Amino acid sequence: MTFDMEHLRVLYAPDPQRVALARARQAAVFRGERPDAWPAHLPGTLTPDQEAIPAPDFKEAFDDIDLMVCSQVRGACAGANGNSDIVPSSRGNYGTGVLLSCLGLEQEVFPDKMPWLKRHLTREEAAALTFDDIAPRGTFARGLDFMRRHKDLMGDTLPLYCMDTQGPFDLAHLLLGDDIFLLIYDDPPLLHHVLEICLELGKRTHEWMKAVSGEPRGVCHHSGALYAENFGIRICEDTTAIVGREVMETFALPYTRRLAQYFDGAWVHYCGRSDVLTELALQIPEVKAINFGLIPGHEHDHPFEVDMQRVAEAGKVYWGWWPRRDGESVPEYLRRLHGWAAQGCLIPMLHPVLDSDNPLTPEQVLDTWYSL
């Protein structure tokens, strides 16, 4: 690669006052306070100079730390260029199985999609696991090297956030494969043993990452946009979303709560609709915010007003995007979301207004939002 990596800090040049304002607004909402204006996220586009930053595919970035840095800085540049309430940040994008490399499990890597775990442990191998088996090695160790290289290049101008961090139940699913669903009935003690291992794995890996990034225990940068000062991590519950209430209450959410407690709170993400999980997650005091991964083609499966009312009544925040409705104008869409944001329960990503039928420029979209 002929690109001068030292030039990245020049090319990434956000307005520090605008980023400080975005931090203050987001932190206030997550604390349950009223900011000077209700925050919203809308990225911008790269400048011609920033377009020169290499744009690797997934495998190229996975295999080359400098290319991973370039990929992440490109995204941060776009986020900063929008002049919205995005707080740009970077991570080593090494896949959902990256934490399990600390137990010796590695992923298959692809150019056109995210990495995926190569193999799972047998029941006998899982039963033999101890906390002593957890060590920063393999892909996770490479991820820590990425973080150190990123710090060397970018200093404190672009914060780092934690690599892909699944919750204990999701980690157990990755570790065991689909045999986890049989263990619920065949061998609950073994499953609880694995969940204790995964809980400890979550604690240690977050601590190791925060030690490199310098992010305090109870502060969270995430997803290249989010910033909070009253919780420290994100927890994914994609597998939890497909099991029933009893399994959630027995095997998943108690471990989620313990992990969240360890880092002064968390926000929770899961893909797909699970009204039971939404209900139960919002009841956990340490869960401060939630986010749904809206599945393409099923974006409208979530009842927007119902879900937002649940969030509001629980005193939490929904952070994420919601789709535009058929025939809904951009001003109508913005007013609909702003009505909930003004209740302190929504920090929206306004990406849907970038659709081709949007007559407003991004600047006009934000002007409209802040004028509401």
Confidence of residue 179 (pLDDT cuts 50, 70, 90): very high
Q: Round to the nearest angstrom and report the end-to-end CA distance of the chain.
A: 47
Q: Average pLDDT, stretch 250-263?
A: 98
Retrieve residue 120's tokens.
Answer: 């799972």
Q: Residue 2 burial by CB count (10 A; 0-12/13-18/19+): exposed, middle or buried?
A: exposed
Average pLDDT estimate for 45-63 = 97
- Confidence bin at 118 (pLDDT 50/70/90): confident
The total number of structural domains that make up the chain: 1
Give me the CATH number covering residue 292: 3.20.20.210
Residue numbers of the domain that contains 150: 5-371
Please state, in angstroms and rounded to a whole number, the distance separating the CA atoms of residues 252 and 237: 8
**pLDDT value at residue 114:** 95
Checking if the pLDDT of 356 tops 80, the result is no
- pLDDT tens string 260-274: 999 999 999 999 899
Could you tell me the CA-to-CA distances from 346 to 257, 321, 338 in Å, in that order?
Answer: 22, 10, 8
pLDDT over 90, % of the chain: 96
> Are residues 362 and 44 in contact, defined by beta-carbon separation less than 8 angstroms?
yes
> Is residue 1's pLDDT more than 80?
no
Average pLDDT for the chain: 97
Question: What pLDDT was estimated at residue 259?
Answer: 98
pLDDT band at 47 (very low <50, low <70, confident <90, very high): very high
The average pLDDT across 101-124 equals 96
pLDDT for 282 beyond 90: yes
> Where residue 102 falls among pLDDT bands split at 50, 70, 90?
very high
